[in-house]
């Protein structure tokens, strides 16, 4: 980079392929100097803050003319391979084509003894912004604590760091100078942070914190006493305040395992030693534990099913943890609760950590479950949802309730109004026990909807007709139109345009209805009913418009009460024949029964526009 420009540069090291050697760690703050190969060029100071992820390097750097504060920015990327660091400079966008600046590429060698990075650089000549093939030497140093840390409390502290012209400060402000030089022997009794600078070429670096850990190890030895006259005691040692612990008991060889086992009653001295050789000790006494005692047994007899009784063992004493058995010691568990037990006699056993055991016997009474005496199924008729199911039980504990979905229960054992299908009827007694029975409601035949062919009525004439097509045997069904007399004929004629209710009745007097529309052969005729009843019976539930063409474009539809106030309004929508204009609700509430006026502004498919001013009777 051309250092004649007074812009300092932030360095970020460039990516280079690493080999399989062990990689050096060069992360941290470095202070350095560059020596141009051209003796006429100036020597520059550098301050680098390097980050490292595996072999990839990044970070920041500043540079300055001698005796001037560090400043400026540049961006580089780089990598480390073994002890070799390579880098390429660029601007923040990764470009080297910056007017008036020559960026560098170079190679440095890391020396872990004096924590230095020394190597060479050369300008990246690109033929557009950099034409000077200059180069030189780079020399950087890092402050690293080389003496051991942590140190034992009370031991002499002799600190050694790397770097050039070292100054030791007590705070990050760098105002209280403690010592100068690469060695310092402070009088400290607790963990202390020193702030160290190095100075190269009349430029002092910012203070770098180095913490010296002073270790005062502590120890806690926890005994586990023996029991039942056995040599099964143990001592577990927990040491804190440092790392790399090893342990000894009564002067034995040190070991990494903090637990000493197979110990008898007596006095012991436990010692812990950390990686720095600092030690702590504690005296421990092992005694003999008392055996466990079963104080009581709590039981719940089995109910509902044949194996759901429970037994809980209450025990005291003994060496924790206690374990429990219900099969004469054949197997043990950590829980004192035993579940899913049938009625019978059991021997409970408690064992402590020392192997001491105690027994106690218990009897659970058996349970007599409910039984189903009868299940009654009544099939549907006329293809309707009118089947029935019922159940009779015995052996229950009152009160008993019944359910057909195992969610909602009722006092009556009979369920009515059921469609055909399979069901599971459940009975639940006063002890919350249940019994169930799979049941079936048989299906039944009834009249079905029929295919209908219609002939349109001439405009204003009674010339429409209905022809019914059915696969049923002739004479089995009869038909009625709008509640008139039933007939065996499948044809209705002499009809005006409109909506009719067709009723079909079979030979079992089962009926079903379906709507039939006779179209009117008038181009722009809209039928608007004079009344409707929104009672959700799927017949005339809303004010709807009926017509024979494809759709009707509604500009605005407005409903008025008897005082002329607007209570409902819709605009700009397309309506299909039979779709509702108004469902009889206002602001989410059902409108009162009465006569309502309305205005309908619409446009027919041929572009003709018209306005209907009518009234409708709402029946609730």
Residue 2 lies in a domain: no
Residue 20 lies in a domain: no
Last residue of a domain, one of 160, 194, 215: 215
3-class DSSP assignment, residue 91: coil
Last residue of a domain, one of 495, 520, 545: 520
Q: How many domains would you assign to the chain?
A: 7
- Between CA 485 and CA 612 the distance in angstroms is 35
Number of H helices, E strands in the chain: 0, 56
Quote the pLDDT of residue 198.
Answer: 93
Chain segment 30-58, per-residue pLDDT in tens: 888 888 998 888 888 877 788 999 999 98
- Between CA 353 and CA 516 the distance in angstroms is 87
Whichever domain contains 527, its CATH number is: 2.60.40
Quote the pLDDT of residue 242.
Answer: 82
In this structure, the answer to whether residues 546 and 469 fall within a common structural domain is no
Residue 592 lies in a domain: yes
Domain hosting residue 408, numbered range: 371-441
Whichever domain contains 84, its CATH number is: 2.40.128
Chain segment 548-575, per-residue pLDDT in tens: 888 999 999 999 999 999 999 999 999 9
Please say if the pLDDT value at position 9 is more than 60: no
Residue 332 lies in a domain: yes
In this structure, the answer to whether residues 209 and 278 fall within a common structural domain is no
> What is the rounded end-to-end Cα distance, in angstroms, of the chain?
92
- Between CA 130 and CA 23 the distance in angstroms is 33
Quote the pLDDT of residue 19.
Answer: 37
Task: Please state, as a whole number, how many other Cβ atoms lie within 10 Å of the Cβ of residue 162.
Answer: 19
Please say if the pLDDT value at position 11 is more than 60: no
In this structure, the answer to whether residues 269 and 224 fall within a common structural domain is yes
In this structure, the answer to whether residues 185 and 258 fall within a common structural domain is no
In this structure, the answer to whether residues 563 and 603 fall within a common structural domain is yes
Residue that wins the pLDDT comparison between 587 and 66:
587
3-class DSSP assignment, residue 132: coil
Structure tokens at 278: 């600092």
Quote the pLDDT of residue 453.
Answer: 93
Residue 19 lies in a domain: no
Residue 271 lies in a domain: yes
Lowest mean pLDDT among 56-65, 195-204, 415-424: 56-65
Quote the pLDDT of residue 207.
Answer: 92
Last residue of a domain, one of 268, 289, 310: 289
Whichever domain contains 247, its CATH number is: 2.60.40.10
In this structure, the answer to whether residues 534 and 590 fall within a common structural domain is yes
In this structure, the answer to whether residues 528 and 611 fall within a common structural domain is yes
In this structure, the answer to whether residues 269 and 308 fall within a common structural domain is no
Residue 312 lies in a domain: yes
In this structure, the answer to whether residues 530 and 551 fall within a common structural domain is yes
Is the CB of residue 422 less than 8 Å from the CB of residue 358?
A: no
In this structure, the answer to whether residues 534 and 436 fall within a common structural domain is no
CA dihedral 607, 608, 609, 614 (to 10 degrees): -130
pLDDT, mean of residues 297-317: 90
**Nearest in space to 302 (alpha carbons), one of 396, 394, 369:** 369
In this structure, the answer to whether residues 464 and 505 fall within a common structural domain is yes
> 498 — phi, psi (to 5°)?
150, -175
> 195 — phi, psi (to 5°)?
-115, 115
The sheet with strand 531-532 has its strands ordered as 531-532, 609-618, 594-603, 552-560, 566-575
Residue 446 lies in a domain: no
In this structure, the answer to whether residues 53 and 133 fall within a common structural domain is yes
Percent of the chain at pLDDT above 70?
Answer: 93
């Amino acid at each position: 980079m051309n250092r004649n420009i007074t812009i300092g540069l932030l360095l970020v090291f460039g990516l280079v392929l690493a080999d399989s050697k062990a990689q050096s760690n060069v992360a941290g703050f470095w202070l350095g100097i560059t020596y141009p190969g051209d003796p006429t060029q100036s020597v520059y100071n550098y301050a680098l803050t390097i980050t490292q992820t595996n072999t990839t390097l990044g970070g920041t750097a500043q540079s300055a003319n001698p005796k001037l504060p560090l400043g400026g920015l540049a961006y580089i990327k780089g990598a480390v391979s073994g002890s070799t660091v390579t880098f390429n400079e660029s601007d923040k966008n990764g470009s080297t084509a910056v007017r008036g600046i020559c960026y560098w590429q170079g190679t440095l060698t890391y020396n872990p003894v004096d924590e230095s990075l020394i190597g060479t650089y050369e300008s990246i000549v690109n033929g557009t912004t950099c034409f000077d093939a200059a180069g030189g030497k780079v020399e950087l140093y890092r402050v690293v604590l080389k003496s051991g840390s942590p140190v034992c409390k009370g031991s002499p502290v002799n600190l050694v760091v790397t770097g050039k012209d070292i100054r030791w400060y007590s705070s990050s402000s760098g105002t209280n100078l403690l010592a100068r030089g690469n060695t310092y022997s402070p009088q400290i009794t607790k963990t202390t942070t020193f702030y160290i600078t190095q100075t190269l070429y009349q430029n002092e670096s910012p203070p770098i914190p180095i913490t010296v850990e002073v270790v005062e190890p502590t120890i806690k030895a926890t005994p586990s006493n023996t029991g039942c006259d056995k040599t099964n005691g143990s001592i577990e040692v927990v040491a804190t305040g440092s790392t790399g612990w090893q342990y000894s008991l009564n002067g034995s060889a040190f070991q990494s395992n903090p637990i000493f086992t197979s110990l008898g009653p007596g006095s012991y001295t436990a010692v812990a030693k950390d990686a720095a050789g600092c030690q702590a000790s504690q005296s421990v006494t092992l005694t003999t534990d008392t055996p466990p005692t079963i104080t009581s047994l709590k039981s719940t007899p089995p109910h509902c099913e044949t194996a759901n009784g429970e037994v809980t063992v209450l025990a005291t004493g003994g060496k924790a943890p206690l374990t429990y058995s219900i099969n004469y010691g054949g197997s043990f568990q950590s829980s004192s609760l035993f579940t899913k037990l049938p009625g019978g006699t059991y021997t409970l056993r408690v064992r402590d950590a020392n192997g001491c055991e105690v027994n106690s016997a218990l009897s659970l009474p058996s349970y007599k479950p409910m039984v189903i005496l009868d299940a009654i199924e009544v099939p549907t008729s006329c293809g309707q949802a009118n089947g029935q199911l019922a159940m009779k039980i015995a052996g229950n504990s009152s009160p008993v309730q019944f359910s057909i979905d195992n969610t909602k229960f009722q006092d009556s054992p009979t369920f009515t109004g059921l469609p055909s299908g399979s069901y599971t009827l459940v009975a639940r007694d006063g002890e919350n026990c249940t019994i169930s029975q799979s049941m079936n409601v048989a299906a039944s035949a009834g009249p079905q909807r029929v295919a209908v062919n219609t002939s349109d009525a001439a405009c204003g004439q009674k010339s429409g007709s209905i022809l019914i097509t059915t696969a049923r045997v002739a004479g089995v069904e009869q038909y009625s139109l709008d509640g008139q007399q039933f007939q065996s004929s499948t044809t209705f004629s002499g009809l005006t345009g409109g909506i009719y209710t067709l009723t079909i009745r079979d030979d079992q007097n089962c009926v079903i209805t379906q709507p039939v529309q006779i179209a009117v052969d008038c181009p722009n005729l809209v039928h608007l009913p004079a009344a409707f009843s929104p009672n959700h019976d799927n017949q005339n539930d809303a004010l709807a418009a009926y017509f024979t063409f494809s759709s009707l474009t509604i500009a605005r539809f407005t409903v008025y009460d008897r005082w002329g106030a607007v209570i409902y309004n819709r605009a700009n929508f397309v309506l299909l024949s039979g779709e509702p204009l108004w469902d009889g609700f206002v602001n989410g509430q059902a409108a009162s029964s009465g006569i309502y006026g309305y205005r309908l502004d619409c446009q027919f498919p041929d572009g003709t526009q018209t306005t209907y001013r009518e009234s409708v009777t709402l029946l609730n």
